[in-house]
Structure 1
Amino acid sequence: MPKKDIHPEYNEVTIVMSDGSEFVTRSTMKTKDGTYRAEVDSKNHPFYNENLKMITATGRVDKFNKRYGKKS
């Protein structure tokens, strides 16, 4: 016998991306006005775009290269 009242509500949610584009989907996400505004998405996150810059944190890459004989 299935249990009653154990599943969350499944409602329509409008997702607004950081560039202003939007789409409608269904989700269990709770929002005040039925809209979720994304601050970071695949169009502006450095991991996904072509402008990815490699940052050498406190010279760790240089230290590795120096230790193992890699020339820069």
Structure 2
Amino acid sequence: MPKKNLHPNWYHDTKVYCDGKHIMTIGSTKKELHVDIWSGNHPFFTGSQRIIDTEGMVERFMKKYNLKSSNQTEYSN
């Protein structure tokens, strides 16, 4: 005999909030969800993400291990 009241309640109209603003409605086991980051304000999805090579980390690594960078040819004149 299966147990009763085993599964949580499902809410079809859960409101998702970010910074106090209602951003979407989804289905969830909670009535309200408060998130810090969502695709509308995350740098990866908004295109504002920048990859920065701080202090030339790649160049320092190559110099430390005496490696040639990929744009240098092995045979030089």
Task: Provide structure 1 residue ranges, at least 5 long, that are not aligned to the other structure.
Answer: none
2:17: which partner in 1? 16
Deviation at 1:19, TM superposition (A): 8.7
Evaluate the alpha carbon distance shift between residue 59 and residue 19 of structure 1 in structure 2; reply closer, same or farther with a 3 A threshold: farther
- Structure number with higher strand proportion: 2
TM-score by length of 2: 0.55
The root-mean-square deviation of aligned C-alpha atoms, in Å, is 2.9
Provide the secondary structure at the position in 1 that maps to 2:27: strand
1:27: which partner in 2? 28
Task: Mark the structure with the bigger radius of gyration.
Answer: 2
Aligned length: 67
- Answering whether residue 52 of structure 2 is matched by residue 51 of structure 1, we say no
- Structure number with higher helix proportion: 2
- Answering whether residue 60 of structure 2 is matched by residue 63 of structure 1, we say yes
Percent identity over the alignment is 27
Task: Provide structure 2 residue ranges, at least 5 long, that are not aligned to the other structure.
Answer: 72-77
Evaluate the alpha carbon distance shift between residue 65 and residue 41 of structure 1 in structure 2; reply closer, same or farther with a 3 A threshold: farther
Greater RCO structure (CA 8 Å; 6+ sep): 1
